[in-house]
Structure 1
Amino acid sequence: MTRILPPLFALALLAAQASAQPADLIVTNARIYTADDTRPLVEAFAVRGGRVVFTGSAREAATLKGPNTQTLDGQGRTIIPGMVDAHGHFNGLAKKLRSVDLVGTKSYDEVIARVVERAKSTPKGTWIVGRGWDQNAWGNTTFPTHDALSAATPEHPVLLERIDGHAQLANNNAMRIAGLTAATKEPSGGKIVRDDKGVPTGVLVDNAESIVSSKVPDPSIDEWRAMHKDAVKVMHRWGLVGMHDAGASRAMIDLYEDMAQKKELNLRLYVMIGDNAAALTHYFGMGPRSALYDGQLWVRAVKLYADGAMGSRGAALLEPYSDDPNNNGLLLSAPGHIQEVAEAGLKAGFQINTHAIGDRGNRVVLDAYQKALDKVPAANHRFRVEHAQILHQDDIPRFAQLGVIPSMQASHQTSDMYWIGKRLGPTRLYGAYAWQSLLQTGVIIPNGSDFPVEEVNPLISFHASIARQDARDWPTGGWLPAERMSRQDALRSMTLWAAYAGFQEKDMGSITPGKYADFVLLDQDIMRVPVELVLKTEVLATYLGGRRVYGR
């Protein structure tokens, strides 16, 4: 006679049998921050089949050691969950690694010098592209004109992207190839900067960028593959095991899937589909897809744009810029379009994530989301506003009320704080990078870098979150310090909260039994060292599914 075990007893027996099996890896002798509120700090954990099977004491973990179990001695160092950049640009980073690096240039002359150096090794007539210039760091914050660049590069078409990706500078050869003249009309949501005679100066803002950028030859698929592999290595070096790719074409998503199938991706990649009608029809028809190819790829979100950026004065404001009184910024998409895509996303089960930086841009998105949710009510939609940098006080509570996640990048605050007051004036600053004000309403804030706009290193955003200071510890006490995050929230923002913002919290985001064994070994305890030492922390190793993908 077969004995039927009570269901709860049977489950307990299966769990006991599973825990008795030897682990593949035991990690011990470390201060382990799990980002799991049920066991926030442990001294050991065990891994089997790429997932965590135990967290707790070293004594308990030792019971899972078998003849083939590997051990990792943390040597008293610190371990945190693998970090996730909740808003970056995979293609942008891949391209930047092979472009002229203009980050940190202190003058237009320095920008030109770097381009001229690249021109020496570039065949005549071949495009030269670069990224990272920022006129706000040059003393004179007005946009440059192409004249000096054109004179220095007479034999190459040149296109240089501003650090935020929302403005570009083209030389004369590039404008000639694109047919850009005084007669060229501005596209909706874009601006062609012109001189007093109406002649283009070479600077193109937001939707006008494509006038020239569309003429730059694309890399081949094999080149893209190699470039993306290089980008993943950079992410691993800084402790990132995953990222949310903020806007990808169908061709790129096809490449990501091919790389994942061939086990070449080596990343937890959460993809936001770019705003293209044909692509959205295709993916909405397929439905949301999650944790494909052993947790390498998620395709279940859409990326829209509401406005531009603060640095190029393209962010849409309710009132004019304080330093440009005839300018309220640019709306890149019609509010009706955002609502339409949001309604379609709700029906198809897709998350909608919209770039909005200015207070008007944010209000437009929240209004569109609210109208969409009124028509297609849904729980757990997890719609997001990407950046949410400048908010009107009336709109701060609306995120929690609508169930919308503000996806923010702390490093933007420390990059912008030197000049943002001139753009906004004193009153609007109190809605700028308002992390604590948002947290107090009950929302979470997934953190990112917006790379390649900012550096890949996620500890820059961790430091900015807890200090609101730059790498030189300026300003003393922090910039609007009441909006700082606690260290616990800052850690969650780049681990568990980032996972939740991508519907990944059951698989990743914390060192918890059942989740992927993604973790990072650090040489310092970022949760306890003085704030000024956080940015001196080194990543010693990065593990993905219990497998080391980077070691110093």
Structure 2
Amino acid sequence: MHRYLRGVADVSIVACAIGALLFAARATAVAQQPPLQAADLILTNGRIVTVEDGAPDAQAIAVRGDRIIAIGSSPDMQKHRGATTQVIDLQGQLVIPGFTESHGHFTGIGQAELNLKLMPTKTWDEIVAMVAEAAKSAKPGQWIYGRGWHQEKWDVKPKENVEGFPLHKSLDVVSPNNPVLLTHASGHASFANAKAMELSNITRRTEQPLGGEILKDASGDPTGLLRETASGLIKRGAGEPKPTIQDQVARERKILELADKEVLSKGITSFHDAGSTFATVDLMKKMIDEGKLGVRLWVMLRDANERLAPGLAKYRTIDYGQGHLTVRAIKRSMDGALGPRGAWL
């Protein structure tokens, strides 16, 4: 054989050998590559909004646990389908990313589920009627709570009012023996009946608290409206049997469960909680570990400075429980709110 051709042959043999080795290596790698994990849920034939510049929309999505594992066409998702995968044909319906609540009070939402829901009310008389109904089934001395009223959303002003706010005597008529406390929609004011103020020792002689106001009528008597820090003068639960530790923990867990259910039902998957205590954060962690909270929480701590300072470093948390809890801010109120007219304007 010609020396040149022999060299070519040698090179060809070497090339073939290398190619065989590469093919074998590739085949081994493919064989060793772990199979795709099956999705728990696949949504197909929909309009998926991704909010990704490169691929703003898609037809299908695959989910495993609480993470999206694939987005693409409906045929693309078949490789993620397993024996137990739930497949939902959206039939053209829209799927969008979950909403993020930028400022809310998580426990307040849960508490509202246990109390009178005053947000939809359009008149003060409607609120009085709700309290009257609650008083019929309340135990003697049991407190009646509600939240969500806003005087600017009422169709008409109460007949008797001070600065557009009602007088407590209308509540006293329907609930003379049960203390009533109704929190403003903003959370920056509350309204109490005579029994609640009596149990809290709030009278015409009570001094105005720093950072708050007991609204009074022309004769100097409290109307029932308590702005800002004045709401803290109310002794919630006074006169009721003191709950056991077990009852208290059960109620706190129920509040978080109800809040989680409510926000998720509205499409909110991330929630900026504007002020919770160390104890509430501890309970949030525990319930996340138990798989009882589905929403992702970004929490601001709220407590007195002397309690906050020693605990901040310990409680600083980022993406705990696979991203379900972050604690990395504190809440401070520097002024009042516009709704109940407690701001310094």
Structure 2 residue identity aligned to 1:97: E
Note closer, same or farther for the CA distance 1:214–1:157 as it changes in structure 2 (3 Å cut): closer
Q: Output the CA distance in 2 between the equivalents of 1:149 and 1:83.
A: 38
Determine whether 1:210 maps to 2:232: yes
Partner of 1:238: 266
Q: Output the CA distance in 2 between the equivalents of 1:196 and 1:78.
A: 57
User: In the TM superposition, what is the alpha-carbon distance from 1:211 to its structure 2 partner?
Assistant: 0.5
Determine whether 1:78 maps to 2:94: yes
Partner of 2:187: 165
Residue 38 of structure 2 is aligned with which of 6, 12, 23? Answer: 23
Determine whether 1:116 maps to 2:132: yes
Determine whether 1:145 maps to 2:167: yes
Structure 1 residue identity aligned to 2:73: S
Partner of 2:111: 95
Q: Output the CA distance in 2 between the equivalents of 1:249 and 1:105.
A: 31
Partner of 2:332: 304
Q: Which has the higher contact order (CA 8 A, sep 6+)?
A: 1
Q: Which runs of 5+ in 1 are unaligned?
A: 1-12, 317-327, 329-552
SS of residue paired to 1:305: coil
Residue 188 of structure 1 is aligned with which of 210, 215, 218? Answer: 210
Q: Deviations over 1:135-168 (max 9, x none)?
A: 2214226111112212321111111112222211
Identity value in percent: 37
What are the within-5 Å matches in structure 2 for residues 412-423 of structure 1?
A: none
C-alpha contact 2:36 2:79 (8 A) present in aligned 1: no
Q: Deviations over 1:346-366 (max 9, x none)?
A: xxxxxxxxxxxxxxxxxxxxx
Q: Output the CA distance in 1 between the equivalents of 2:313 and 2:165.
A: 44
Residue 34 of structure 1 is aligned with which of 38, 43, 50? Answer: 50
- Which stretch shows the higher mean deviation, 286-295 or 119-128? 286-295
User: In the TM superposition, what is the alpha-carbon distance from 1:282 to its structure 2 partner?
Assistant: 4.0
Residue 62 of structure 2 is aligned with which of 19, 25, 46? Answer: 46
Note closer, same or farther for the CA distance 1:254–1:287 as it changes in structure 2 (3 Å cut): closer
User: In the TM superposition, what is the alpha-carbon distance from 1:64 to its structure 2 partner?
Assistant: 3.7
Q: Point out the structure with max Rg over C-alpha.
A: 2
Residue 322 of structure 2 is aligned with which of 279, 283, 294? Answer: 294
C-alpha contact 2:135 2:174 (8 A) present in aligned 1: no
Q: Deviations over 1:339-397 (max 9, x none)?
A: xxxxxxxxxxxxxxxxxxxxxxxxxxxxxxxxxxxxxxxxxxxxxxxxxxxxxxxxxxx
Partner of 1:4: none
How many residues are matched?
Answer: 303
Q: Deviations over 1:299-358 (max 9, x none)?
A: 222111122222211233xxxxxxxxxxx2xxxxxxxxxxxxxxxxxxxxxxxxxxxxxx
Q: Which runs of 5+ in 2 are unaligned?
A: 1-28, 158-162
C-alpha contact 2:190 2:231 (8 A) present in aligned 1: yes
Q: Output the CA distance in 1 between the equivalents of 2:249 and 2:64.
A: 36
SS of residue paired to 1:209: helix
SS of residue paired to 2:256: helix
Structure 2 residue identity aligned to 1:315: A
Q: Output the CA distance in 1 between the equivalents of 2:292 and 2:306.
A: 27
User: In the TM superposition, what is the alpha-carbon distance from 1:66 to its structure 2 partner?
Assistant: 4.6
User: In the TM superposition, what is the alpha-carbon distance from 1:125 to its structure 2 partner?
Assistant: 1.1
Note closer, same or farther for the CA distance 1:29–1:285 as it changes in structure 2 (3 Å cut): same
Note closer, same or farther for the CA distance 1:66–1:134 as it changes in structure 2 (3 Å cut): closer
Partner of 1:60: 76
Structure 1 residue identity aligned to 2:226: L
Structure 1 residue identity aligned to 2:103: H
Q: Output the CA distance in 2 between the equivalents of 1:203 and 1:41.
A: 51
Note closer, same or farther for the CA distance 1:273–1:287 as it changes in structure 2 (3 Å cut): closer
Structure 1 residue identity aligned to 2:38: A
Note closer, same or farther for the CA distance 1:300–1:23 as it changes in structure 2 (3 Å cut): same
Partner of 2:176: 154
Determine whether 1:251 maps to 2:266: no
Task: Give TM-score scaled by structure 1 length.
Answer: 0.51
Q: Output the CA distance in 2 between the equivalents of 1:32 and 1:191.
A: 51
Partner of 2:248: 220
Task: Give TM-score scaled by structure 2 length.
Answer: 0.80
Residue 276 of structure 1 is aligned with which of 304, 314, 318? Answer: 304
Note closer, same or farther for the CA distance 1:177–1:278 as it changes in structure 2 (3 Å cut): same
C-alpha contact 2:143 2:237 (8 A) present in aligned 1: no
Q: Output the CA distance in 1 between the equivalents of 2:286 and 2:84.
A: 33
SS of residue paired to 2:281: helix
Structure 2 residue identity aligned to 1:34: T
Q: Deviations over 1:181-210 (max 9, x none)?
A: 122111221111011232211110011110
C-alpha contact 2:199 2:235 (8 A) present in aligned 1: no
Q: Output the CA distance in 1 between the equivalents of 2:63 and 2:131.
A: 49
Q: Deviations over 1:46-92 (max 9, x none)?
A: 33454223222233333444555443322211111122222221111
Note closer, same or farther for the CA distance 1:44–1:226 as it changes in structure 2 (3 Å cut): same
Note closer, same or farther for the CA distance 1:35–1:17 as it changes in structure 2 (3 Å cut): farther
Structure 2 residue identity aligned to 1:284: L
Q: Output the CA distance in 1 between the equivalents of 2:191 and 2:315.
A: 39
